[in-house]
Amino acid sequence: GQQLNQSPQSMFIQEGEDVSMNCTSSSIFNTWLWYKQDPGEGPVLLIALYKAGELTSNGRLTAQFGITRKDSFLNISASIPSDVGIYFCAGQLGTGNQFYFGTGTSLTVIP
Amino acid sequence: IAGITQAPTSQILAAGRRMTLRCTQDMRHNAMYWYRQDLGLGLRLIHYSNTAGTTGKGEVPDGYSVSRANTDDFPLTLASAVPSQTSVYFCASSEVAASNEQFFGPGTRLTVL
C-alpha cells in the first residue's frame, strides 16, 4: 500500500503557539485531507484540498496542497487546549474509494 | 440523530472464534467503509460498499468479510480471528461513493488472544 510519512510524530507546545505539521508521499495524489481524532473517537474531517498549490483555511487551521502533489501541510495558529489530539493526513490517488492515511501527529498543548 | 454507531465498544476474543462487528448509520448515506487503526500504521481500508448490495476490497481485506443487505447496516465479520487482527476498527460512511466527506463511528477495540 501507499506510505504517507507524517511529521513530526508528536509535538508538545505552549498554549498560544503556532503549530506546523506535514505529510509526504512517494505518489502523486489528487486529493489531500486533514483529520483530527480525539481520544476514544473516530477521526473528524478538518480540511479538504483538491488542487496543487491550493491554500485553504478553517478558522485557525490552514492547509496547503503541495505544488508537486506529493505533500501537504497543516498549520494551526494560536493553539488552545482543545486542539489536543492526533492529526492525520490522508490522500486519494484517483477517484476510487481508496484513501491512504498518514501515521498521525500527536499534539499536546500545555496551558 | 446518532450518525454512525458501532457495537460492541470493545471485545476480547479467543483466537479461532468468529466475530461480527456491527455498524449502523442513520444518515441514508450510500457508501460505507471499514478501516482498522494500528499504532504506527494509521488507518487502512479493509472493505467498502458503494451502495446497498455491493461491496469491494480495500487495502487489507484478508481474513475479513462484509455484507450490505440494506443502506443502514454494514457488518464486518472475522470468520476465524487471529491475534494480528487485534486493532481498533472504525466504520465510516459518505453520502456518495469515493467522497472525501467520510463520517466516522466511535470505533470498536478488538483484542484477539
The predicted pLDDT at position A4 comes to 87
| Chain B residues inside the 8 Å CB shell of A41 | 104, 106-107
Backbone angles phi, psi at B67, to 5 degrees: -145, 155
Among B102, B103, B108, B109, most A C-beta atoms within 10 A, so best to mutate, is B102
Look over chain A and give the mean of its residue pLDDT values, rounded to a whole number. Answer: 92
Does the beta-carbon distance from B48 to A48 stay under 8 Å? no
Of A101-110, B27-36, B67-76, B94-103, where does mean pLDDT reach its minimum? B94-103
Residue B1 above 60 pLDDT? no
Closest C-alpha among A24, A86, A29, A83 to residue A58: A83
The amino acid present at A81, given as its one-letter code, is P
| CB contact at 8 A, B84 and B41 | no
* DSSP assignment of chain A: ---EEEE-SEEEEETT--EEEEEEESS--SEEEEEEE-TTS--EEEEEE-STT-EEEETTEEEEE-TTSSEEEEEE-S--GGG-EEEEEEEESSSSS-EEE---EEEEEE-
Contact list, A88 vs chain B (CB under 8 Å): 42-43
Q: What is the pLDDT of residues B39-66, one digit of tens each?
A: 878 899 999 999 999 999 999 999 999 9
**Lowest pLDDT segment from A101-110, B10-19, B35-44, B56-65:** B35-44
What value does the mean pLDDT take over residues A72-95? 93
- Do B101 and A45 make contact, defined as CB atoms within 8 angstroms? yes
User: Which whole number is the average pLDDT over A90-99?
Assistant: 79
Quick one: what percent of chain B has pLDDT higher than 90?
A: 86
Amino acid sitting at position B37: Q
Which of B41, B45, B97 lies closest to A99 in CB terms?
B45
Q: Does B15 touch chain A (CB under 8 A)?
A: no
Instruction: Quote the pLDDT of residue B100.
Output: 73
Cβ A78 vs Cβ A71: under 8 Å: no
Residue A17: its pLDDT value, please? 97
Out of A1, A33, A96, the one facing B100 most closely (by C-beta) is: A33
| Smallest CA–CA distance from A94 into chain B, residue | B98
Mean pLDDT value across residues A92-111: 86
Question: Cβ separation of B107 and A42 shorter than 8 Å?
Answer: yes
The three cell numbers of residue A109 are: 498543548
Percent of chain A surpassing pLDDT 90:
77
Q: Is the pLDDT of residue A105 over 60?
A: yes
Find the mean pLDDT for residues A65-72. Answer: 94
The mean per-residue pLDDT over the stretch B20-48 comes to 93
The pLDDT assigned to A95 comes to 67
CB burial readout B75-96, b (16+ within 10 A) else e: bbebeebeeebbbbbbbbbbee
